[in-house]
Amino acid sequence: MTDNRFFNRSELIGILVLAVFLVVVLPLTLDVFRLNLVAKYLTYAFVALGLVICWGYGGILSLGQGVFFGLGGYCMAMFLKLEASSVENTKIQSTPGIPDFMDWNQITALPFFWKPFNSLTFTIAAIILVPGIFALIIGTAMFKRRVGGTYFAIITQAVAAILTILIVGQQGYTGGINGMTDLRTLKGWDIRPDHAKIVLYFFEVGCLFVCIMIAQFVRHSKLGRILVAMREKEDRVRFSGYSVANFKIFAFCIAAVFAAIGGAMFALNVGFMSPSFVGIVPSIEMVIYTAVGGRLSILGAIYGTLLVNFAKTSLSETFPELWLFGLGGLFIAVVLAFPNGLAGIWGDYVQPRIDRLIASRKSKPDGWTDSSVADGAPAE
Amino acid sequence: MSDEANKGLLSPLRRKLLMGMAAVPAITMLPRASFAQAPATSAVNTTGLAVTDTEVTVGILHSATGTMAISETGSIEAEKLAIEQINAMGGVLGRKIKFIQEDGASDWPTFAEKAKKLLVNDKVAAIMGCWTSASRKAVLPVVEQYNGMLYYPTFYEGLEQSKNVIYTGQEATQQILAGLNWIAKEKGAKTFFFIGSDYIWPRTSNKIARKHVENVLKGKVVGEEYYALGSTQFNSVINKIKLTKPDVIFTDVVGGSNVAFYKQLKAAGIDLAKQPLLTISVTEDEIDGIGGENIAGAYACMKYFQSLDNPNNKAFVPAFKKAWGEKTVIGDVTQAAYLGPWLWKLTVEKAGSFDVDKIAAASPGVEFKGAPEGYVRIHENHHLWSKTRVGRAKLDGQFELIYETADLVEPDPFPKGYQ
C-alpha cells in the first residue's frame, strides 16, 4: 500500500461490495416501503461515518452529533415547509402563506430568518455551512483551551440538550415538539410517491459514497495519520510542532458536516423533522451505531447502522412490548464480546480464513472473492 | 335518528307484514345464517384492504415502550377489549377482527413509519392509535397519503379536521368552555392563573381559555406560565400563585410533571379544598402516580370518569377489570379509545363496506348508544358530540361527578372568536 492511494485492494473490494449491496441487491429484493426504511437508516450512516473520523481516528468522542444532524435536517425541512405552505395550501389559516405551526402560535408574518429558506441554493449552502460553522465555534472554544476527552463529551451533550430545549420552547418559530410535519414537494416535485422515494434513495446512496470517498481520503492522507497519532499520544504530536487543536477542529467539523448531510437526507426521505433527533438520546444512539459497526472502520460503521436499525424495526414489529430488551442485549453482547464491533469480528475471524483460502488457490485471478463475501459483511 | 323517523312512516300493519316476509327466508336459511350475513368480500372491499371471507385486519398503533407507555397502555387495553367484545358478538359484516399491534415507542417519526407499514404492507382497514398531538401530526400525512382511517382517542387542541381521522376524544372548546362556565358560576371566579406544559395542546387550550375568560366571563388571567415536558420544578410558579391569589388555578400540565406539581403544591401549603383548581389533563391514570392524597379536592374537566353511574359504564368497568386486572384504572382517554373499534364497526355496517372512502362518508351521524360515557354521535366534522363533565378528585384516586352539561356539546375544531 502506498500513501498516495485512496484505498488498498481489500478496501476497494469492500467498497465495491457495499456499492453492489446498496445499488443492486437491496433495490431488487426490497419493496418500496422497505427501501424507504433503508434510506432512513442510511441517513444515520452519514453520522456514523463522521464519527469514525472524529471518534475512531481522532479520538474525540462527541455525544452531540444529533445537534448537527438536527441543524442539517431543520435547514432542509424549513425549505420544504415553506414550499408546502403556499397561500393556496394554507387558506384555512388566519394568516395564509405561513407554516401551519406559526399560525397556531399567533405569529402573523414570516420571521426574518425563515425568508432566505425560500431559495434552494441558500438552503443547500446552509445545510453545509450552518453546522460547519457551529462546529467550528464549539471546536475552537474547546480545543484551543485543550478541553478534551470526557469533558468534551459532556459539553457536546449539554449542547444537544440546550438545542432541544430551544427548539421545543420556541415552537412558534420551529414547530416545537411536534417538529415540522407534512413536507410535500421539492421545487414542485412531489417527494411522497413511490417513484420519488426510489429516486431519493439512489441520490442518497450517491451522496453517501461521496462522503465515503472523502473519509477514505482523510484516512489515507497525512492528516489521517496525524489524527491517529494524536489519539494515541497527543503530547508527542504537539511537541513535534503540530497544532493539535486545529486538527481536532477539522475532524470535528467534518463529522458535523457529514451529520448535517444525513439530517437533510432524513428530511427529504422521511418528510419530517422533529427535535427527537436532536437530543441526548438520539446522539448516543448514533454513537452506538458506530460502536456496533466498529469505530475504526469506515464501512463497518455503515453496516453497523444498517444492522442496528434493521434489528430495531424488525424486533419492534415482532415483539412490540419486549423489543427494547432485545436491542439492549444486542448492544451489551457486542460491546462485551467484540469491542471493535462488526469490523472487528470480520478482521479477526473472517478475513484470515478468506486470506488462507485465497492463498491455497493462488491460481485464481486477483479480485476474485468467495460468493459468501458478496453478501456484504463489513470489509476493512 | 333518521332511522327512527323513517320507521314512524310505516303503518303497523305494513311493518308486521314486512317482518313476516323477512322471517321466511331467515328460517329456511338458519343453518347457513352466518354465511348469509356475510356479504361477498369483493363487494365490501374494493380497494385491496386486508379483508378475507372470515377476517378483517386492523392496526393498533400506540407507544408500548418509552415515556408515553404509561399513558398509552390503557388505550391499547381498551381497544383490544373492544375488539374482543365485537368478535364475541360475531364481528363486523360477518368477519372477525384481527389486529396487528405496532409500537410507536414514544417517538413521533416511529409512529409515522409504523403507520405507513400498517397501511402499505399490512393493508389494514383502520388504525386505532396515536396519543400525543405530536404523534398524530406525524401520522396524519401518512394516513392522508395512503388513504387510511385513523381513530384518535385523546382530547386535543383542535384546529384540525381530516377525512381520514375520527377524533373520539374532545377537542379543546368542547372540553374547556363548559368547565370554565361552571367554575365561574359556582365559585364566582374572576381571576385565573394558567399553568401548562410547553407544547401545542396546553398553549392552544390556554389561548381558548383566555379568550373565554376575558371576553365571555369578563374575568382576568393573572398569570400564564409554561414548563418544559418532564419538568419537575414548580416552586417559582407556586410562589407566584401565592402572590397573585387567583380565584382558580387552571392547569394543563401533562405526564410525569403532574406528580411533582401536586406534591409541591401541597408542600407549599396550598389546600385544594379551599383553593379551587381546575385541571384538564389529570385523569384517573395520572392520579395513580400523583397519589390521591396529593390531589384530593381538585376539579377535573373532561367527558368521562370511571365512577360514572350509568348502565353502560357499569358493564364496561367490570369487563375492563376482568380483562386487565382488578387494579387497573380507566381514564378519559382509555374510554375514548374503547369507542374507536365500536364506532368503526358501526360505520362499516352503516356503509356496508370496508372501503375507507365509504366509511369516511358514512361516519357523520353514526351513533353509539353503548358508550361507557353515555351516548355519542359522530359530527359532520368527524369529531364526537359528547357531554362535558366536571369531577372532583377523591382520596381513593377516583372522581366524584359534580356537574355535567345537560346536552351533548357540539365539537367545534375551528372555533370562531377563539383563534
pLDDT value of position A362:
66
Higher-confidence residue of B57 and A328: namely: B57
Q: What is the ipTM of this complex?
A: 0.75
Q: Position B315: which residue type?
A: A
pLDDT (tens digit per residue) in A107-147: 889 999 999 999 999 999 999 999 999 999 999 999 999 88
CB contact under 8 A, B120 and A105: no
Query: Does B16 or A19 have the greater pLDDT score?
Result: A19
* pLDDT score recorded for residue B68: 81
State the best of B113, B117, B140, B226 to mutate against chain A, taking most chain A CBs within 10 Å.
B113
> In chain B, what residues touch A106 (CB-CB under 8 Å)?
207
Give me the mean pLDDT over the A245-266 stretch: 96
Tell me the C-alpha distance between B102 and B111, whole Å: 9
Answer whether A108 touches B (CB < 8 Å). no
Q: What is the distance between the alpha carbons of residues A152 and A142, in angstroms, rounded to a whole number?
A: 7
Quick one: angle between helices A244-270 and A194-220, nearest 10? 170
The larger pLDDT score, comparing residue B69 to residue B164, is at B164
Secondary structure, 3-state, B384-403: EEECCEEEEECCCCCEEEEE
pLDDT cut 70: percent of chain B above it: 91
Say if residue B15's pLDDT is above 60. Answer: no
C-alpha cell belonging to residue B70: 404509561
Inter-chain touch B134–A165, beta carbons under 8 Å = no
| Residues of chain B positioned with their CB less than 8 A from the CB of A324 | 65, 105
pLDDT averaged over every residue in chain B = 89
The 10 Å Cβ neighbour count of residue A218 is 19
Chains A and B form CB pairs within 8 A to the count of 90
C-alpha cell at A105: 402560535
Determine the residue among B70, B100, B137 to mutate to test chain A binding: the one whose Cβ has the most chain A Cβ atoms within 10 Å. B137
In this structure, of A39-43, A72-76, A350-354, B353-357, the range with the lowest mean pLDDT score is A350-354
- Of the partner residues A178, A181, A317, the one whose CB lies closest to the CB of residue B141: A181
Q: Which of B138, B145, B198 faces A272 most closely, judged by CB atoms? A: B138
Q: Residues of A with CB below 8 A from B138's CB?
A: 178-179, 181, 272, 274
Distance of alpha carbon B411 from alpha carbon B419, whole angstroms: 15
- Binned at pLDDT 50, 70 and 90, residue A374 comes out as very low
Cβ neighbors of A233 (< 8 A, separation 6 or more) are none
The span from the CA of B253 to the CA of B386, in Å, is: 23
> Does A321 score more than 90 pLDDT?
no
B221-277 per-position pLDDT tens digit: 999 998 887 788 999 999 999 999 999 999 999 877 899 999 999 999 999 999 999
B265 contact partners, CB below 8 Å, separation of at least 6: B234, B238, B272, B277, B294
What torsion do the CA atoms of A363, A368, A371, A374 make, to the nearest 10 degrees?
160
How high is the pLDDT of residue B10?
Answer: 43
Which chain A residues have a beta carbon less than 8 Å from that of B65?
321, 323-324
CA distance B137 to A364: 58
Of A57, A288, A282, which is closest to residue A156 (Cα–Cα)? A282
Give the pLDDT of residue B4: 42
Residues of B with CB under 8 A from a CB of A: 64-65, 101-103, 105, 107-110, 112-114, 116-117, 120-121, 133-134, 137-138, 140-141, 145, 157, 159, 198-200, 203-204, 207, 228-229, 414, 419
Sign of CA dihedral B62, B65, B69, B74: positive
Query: How far A317 CA sits from the closest chain B CA (Å)?
Result: 6
Beta strand residue intervals within B198-264, DSSP E: 220-227, 248-252
Tens of pLDDT along A153-181? Answer: 999 999 999 999 899 888 889 988 888 98
pLDDT greater at residue B308 or residue A373:
B308
CA angle B401, B82, B373 (to 5 degrees): 20
B397 to chain A, closest Cα gap in Å: 27
Check if A74 contacts B (Cβ < 8 Å). Answer: no
Interface contact B203-A105, CB threshold 8 A: yes
Beta-strand runs (E) in B240-372: 248-252, 277-279, 299-302, 367-368
Chain A's closest residue to B135, CA to CA, is A178
From residue A327, how far is each of A324, A333, A376, B178 by CA, in Å? 5, 10, 22, 47
Structure-block grid coordinates of residue A88: 393556496
In the predicted model, what is the mean pLDDT of residues B49-53?
Answer: 93
Closest CA to B342 of B360, B367, B323, B362: B367
Q: Which residues contact A85 (CB under 8 A, 6 or more apart)?
A: A97, A98, A99, A100
Contact list in B for residue A320 (CB cut-off 8 A) is: 64, 101-103
Q: Which letter, b or e, does each residue of B171-200 get, where b requires 16 or more Cβ atoms within 10 Å of its Cβ?
A: bbbbbbbbbbbbbbeeeebeebbbbbbbbb
The grid cell for A294 is 466498529
DSSP B273-287: TTS-EEESS--HHHH
Distance between B331 CA and the closest CA of chain A, angstroms: 21
Is residue B140 within 8 Å of residue A181, measured between CB atoms? yes
What is the per-residue pLDDT for B109? 84
Mean pLDDT to the nearest integer, B67-90: 92
User: Residues B288-306: what's their mean pLDDT?
Assistant: 94
Q: What is the pLDDT of residue A363?
A: 55
Rounded average pLDDT over B148-164:
94
- pLDDT beyond 50 at A369: no
**How confident is residue B28, by pLDDT bands cut at 50, 70 and 90?**
very low
CA distances from B51 to A94, A293, A335 (A): 42, 42, 45
Question: Does residue A270 sit at the B interface (CB-CB below 8 Å)?
Answer: yes
For residue A49, give the amino acid letter: L
Question: Out of A86-95, A293-302, A364-373, B89-98, which region has the weakest mean confidence (pLDDT)?
Answer: A364-373
A331 touches chain B (CB under 8 A): no
Residue B56 has a pLDDT of 96
| Chain B, nearest residue to A164 by Cα | B228
What's the average model confidence in pLDDT over B200-210? 89
pLDDT over threshold 70, residue B170? yes
Q: What pLDDT score was predicted for residue B168?
A: 97
Which pLDDT score is estimated for A353? 87
- Output DSSP code: residue B414: S
> What's the whole-number mean pLDDT along residues B409-418?
89
DSSP A177: G
Separation of alpha carbons A298 and A86, rounded Å: 42
Q: What is the pLDDT of residue A5?
A: 63
Are A270 and B109 within 8 A, CB to CB?
A: yes
- Kindly determine whether residue B199 and residue A277, on different chains, have CB atoms separated by under 8 Å: no
pLDDT, chain A, mean? 88
Hey, of B200, B381, B414, which one would you mutate to test binding to chain A, going by the most A CBs within 10 A of its CB? Answer: B200
Largest CA distance in chain B: 79
Reported pTM: 0.82
Chain B interface includes A99 (CB < 8 A): no
Task: Count the residues in chain A.
Answer: 380
Of A316, A336, A341, nearest to A326 (Cα)?
A316
Give the mean pLDDT of A63-78: 96
Q: What digits encode the pLDDT tens for the residues B181-198? A: 999 999 999 999 999 988
| Cβ pair A276:B140 closer than 8 A | no
Round to whole Å and give the CA distance between A274 and A282. 12
